[in-house]
Amino acid sequence: MAESHWHRWQLTAPLAALSRPVRAAAGPAAPVVPTGPAAAAGGHVPVAGTVGPSAASGGTESPAGTSRPRAAAAEGLPVLLGDARARQVDGSTCGSAVLVMLAATGDPALAQWLETGRLPAGPRPPEVPAQDVRGGAGERFAAAQRQVKAATGRRALGPLPWPASLGTPPWTAAREARFPGVRYRVRPVSDSSPEAADVLGLVEAANRRGIPVPVYVGGDVRGGLSHAVPRHVVLAVPPPPGAALPGTLQVYEPAEGSVHTVPVSDLLGRTGPHPALGGWTHVTAVLLPVPA
């Protein structure tokens, strides 16, 4: 079966030169992704996203207490880190998985550690635990997710921590999101509003410049009040160099560890679940990059 090489387009140091950005006609101001030798060396809440205890296996969710909606079967291209599928480790770490993959896209040191277990000389990426991680790429990805989840849980409610069972709130995800030259701001989205196409156009433009964008998704009140808030996090990732299709997004869905190619028009005014959204229906917020 084919696999998505998105992480290799931008994560693997020997192929870092392939991360040259594709020019976009419009979009938020942001720096160009590093290329060449420098680049090669170098959940949910009552407002945030997770899927069930495991979106890959189904189950119940907290605090919603309901299983996620089911989307029609549509298999994406698998994303591999070393020999492991790049899946969220449990039902509260979709946001953590997304933030790890976001950081690794712009940090070859983190990408190398995830795939091989080796760290090059230089600063230790904050996603890498201080203690050694036994096992393979799957265990390293799980450890990095837990490391990020701990960071996003700190000082989430003023000085107070965020409940671990509630996943990753958007405001701490934006605080901890790490990519060269940018920082992230939360932008709520109603996919039935006139501005939704413009916001998703900004996501597409950022992707074409090589910048990944976290996207929060959820349901609506037809599934109960618990569905009408952000419930899961996915990542709009850069397209292959020279292969961008206008009006489409490449969406990494961490529950199944796959990338889906999705027309932006499919994400506007939806009434049913979509596999690229982890079985949820609506885009509810995006973390847009702005110059650091």
pLDDT in tens, 14-27: 222 222 222 223 33
This prediction's pTM: 0.78
The span from the CA of 181 to the CA of 257, in Å, is: 27
Section 262-288 average pLDDT: 95
Q: What are phi and psi of 125, to 5 degrees?
A: -60, 140
Q: Helix or strand or coil: residue 7? A: helix
The span from the CA of 12 to the CA of 16, in Å, is: 6
DSSP-derived secondary structure for 214-268: EEEEE--GGG-GGGSSEEEEEEEEPPPTT-PPTTEEEEEETTTTEEEEEEGGGGS
Angstrom distances, CA of residue 177 to CA of 126, 230, 259: 11, 18, 20
pLDDT at 66: 30
Most confident range (mean pLDDT) of 43-47, 73-77, 170-174, 237-241 is 170-174
Q: Assign 291 a pLDDT band (cuts: 50, 70, 90).
A: very high
Section 261-285 average pLDDT: 94
Nearest one of 288, 276, 257 to 85, comparing CA atoms: 257
Q: Assign 220 a pLDDT band (cuts: 50, 70, 90).
A: low
Q: Are 48 and 156 in contact (CB under 8 A)?
A: no
Task: Tell whether the model's pLDDT for residue 47 goes beyond 80.
Answer: no
Q: Assign 242 a pLDDT band (cuts: 50, 70, 90).
A: confident
pLDDT at 229: 56
Mean pLDDT of the chain: 78
The span from the CA of 74 to the CA of 167, in Å, is: 26
Q: What is the pLDDT of residues 84-123, one digit of tens each?
A: 999 999 999 999 999 999 999 999 999 999 999 999 999 9
Least confident of 54-58, 133-137, 194-198: 54-58
Sheet of 213-218: strand order equals 77-78, 258-263, 248-253, 230-237, 213-218, 282-291, 182-188
Q: Is 220 or 269 the better-scoring residue by pLDDT? A: 269
Q: Assign 165 a pLDDT band (cuts: 50, 70, 90).
A: confident
Q: Assign 219 a pLDDT band (cuts: 50, 70, 90).
A: confident
Q: Are 207 and 213 in contact (CB under 8 A)?
A: yes
Q: Helix or strand or coil: residue 34? A: coil
- Residue 84's DSSP bridge partners are 81
Section 176-189 average pLDDT: 97
Q: Is 198 or 48 the better-scoring residue by pLDDT? A: 198
